[in-house]
Structure 1
């Protein structure tokens, strides 16, 4: 039995989509006989045809993710969207570079390869952005030591 016409008419009257129109399975014969909008209105009044409630998206999964993010989870580099500097900001890149350079410089001072004066000078050079990498710093120190000898 094809009730597509009745469903379409009911959807127009109720102001909902056809998928939200509910027809009482026990009254299919009465619904099949209804062919005008007036007939459908009577069936709606009798409760044989109704609009199903609206279904919205569940926020349960969002809530779970939100709690995890508040704890600091799901914030790693694999979860970041955006361009080059939104993933690791310029400041973060600078901090990582400077920390690596200072760590390396400290090692040279502890091994007494450079003096305190040289250490201070190079510390300021690092701050000034003279060195782009740890390799460049090592090379600078190597040349400095060679000059001394």
Structure 2
């Protein structure tokens, strides 16, 4: 009886391992569009979208199945007549701001743009203050001699 339960548990544990590999890739995941102009639009857009699994590659460069699905979505929507900006907006709404290499300033992303500027201003202020002290110290040392 224990062997039967052990076999059942192992079988159930192995099911997720085979779940995704049995599905074929989407038709436009690895096939280009026949119209070169439309493919150029799709390719340009795909190079500006981040693979959510790889995180350091665009969906055009990634071999991850999720990137293939995203390439398929981009090409299918280009074929349907949507503009690249409409497709980008749809993907951002679906996956979040992180999917785009060109994030837009919004209520959630403004700190990403403001904090580096603030840090640069603080560093510049500290440097100018120290350099100003050093110059005044050099001037005072020259007068004392």
TM-score by length of 2: 0.28
- Structure number with greater Rg is 1
Greater relative contact order, per chain length (Cα 8 Å cut-off, separation 6+): 2
The structure in which a higher percent of residues are strand is 1
